[in-house]
Structures are given as structure tokens and as C-alpha cells.
A and B are shown apart, each in its own frame.
Chain A
């Protein structure tokens, strides 16, 4: 079955979505990530979406679910690399990804993860 690879680096999991995801693939990623968080006791998840040309409501919801599920499993999630056109479209569509931490690139995302973990932040910065 087709899968998006999940890399483990220290106590982080790194995912780079490089394909145009159909819905099942997004669901598989959600399942695989939650399983891996528990299995390797990950403290952080970094998802690079710089290659994603669209984020529609289904993909957006899946990314939000991943962030919420990882939070429940005591891991922080940061979404990095969203293209400007994707951000504009997503907000116009009606989604602003509440409760999902974002950074512009992988470097900043890793720094944000480290800070969040050091501070024991629950990742729900906007009150969600």
C-alpha cells in the first residue's frame, strides 16, 4: 500500500508530503503518525507541506486532527512550509487551522518544537 514515509530524528518525527494526496493516503498518514508517536515516544512531529499545491478542507481537517491527536499523546506538532497561495486559499475556503502550530521552514519549525517542548506547552495556544 502507498504510504508517506515518516523519519525519526532523535525524539522527533519528520514527515515531508511530496505527493498529491488522495483522501485514503491522508488517513493512512494520520494513523501511521499516531502509532509512531506512541511507539518511539516522540515528543515532536514536524510536517513539511512545502510541496503541497493545495490544502482542501479534507486535508486541512486531517492536519488539524494530527495536531490534536499528537497533543493528546504528549507530542507537539508543527506544520512548516505552507505556500502563500495555499494559505490564501485555505483562509478564503473558511479554514484557519486553529490549534495547529506553523512555521515558515524546517529550521524555524524545529526551533519552535524545541521551545514548545522545553516550556511544556500544550500546543493549544489560542485557547482550544
Chain B
């Protein structure tokens, strides 16, 4: 598949997290990302896909290839309808965790990308957008 159209992938199991990682890698390669940039984006995608699965009780990701003149990139939008994040600033703090992990997922993903935003409504769900340019 060419890297021009928006794609949606479900995140409902640990295997889906692997599928998301692999598809993001394929698209990043097609878009001409260097190895380090591929690795950063795929790692961020892995963290956020796991968050969607574990904290959001499943959801999905939209993968959007970006073309801005000669600049190429990828935007990933993770969405779930889980319990939401009551305090986003706290959730972005390294070491803060509610899931028994290391608490690096959200803050770490932010550091690995060029653009990052979180929207969340308690009881309604969470939407995390990241983008990285090649």
C-alpha cells in the first residue's frame, strides 16, 4: 500500500500493539525516515498503543501520512473510550503511573516526537496525537 491515505488500525490486544508498531515502521520507511527517527516514532507508537489498550481498555489509531511541500511526516492519533485522564499534567510526569509500569509512556512519547497533544475527558475517553517529521 502506498503511504498516501489515512489508515485506521484497531488496538484490542497485545498482538494489535505489535501490528501498529510494524505498520508505523513500514510507513516511516516509505516516507524516507532515517533509522533513528523510525525507531523513535515506532517506540512512541508502542507506548501509546499500550496505553490505549491498558488504560483506555482498547481503542484504535489513525495513521496519517503528512506531506508539507518537500517535508514528509507521520501523524498518529490514538483514541479510546476508557475512563480518561483526570490530570493530564500529572500523567505527563515521568514516574507517575496508575498501571504498575514505569510511568514513562506519555512523557517519553512526547520527548520522542515533534508534535504532541492530549485531550481527555474523564469518563469519556482519551485522544493522543503525535507527529514526527522525516
A-side residues, CB < 8 A to B, are 20-24, 53-58, 60-61, 83-86, 88-90, 92-95
Contact = CB atoms under 8 A, between A and B. Distances in A.
Nearest to B16: A22
A22 B15 contact: yes
Interface residues of B, number: 26
A95 B104 contact: yes
Q: Which 5 A-B pairs have the closest CB atoms?
A: A93-B108, A85-B39, A22-B14, A56-B46, A57-B104
A58 B101 contact: yes
B56 interface: no
B17 interface: yes
24 contacts: A22-B14, A22-B17, A22-B18, A23-B50, A53-B25, A53-B39, A53-B42, A55-B43, A57-B47, A57-B102, A57-B105, A83-B39, A85-B36, A85-B39, A86-B39, A88-B39, A89-B43, A90-B43, A92-B111, A93-B104, A94-B102, A94-B108, A95-B104, A95-B108
Contacts of A85: 35-36, 38-39
Nearest to B40: A89
Contacts of B115: none
Contact of B102 (A22, A61, A88): A61
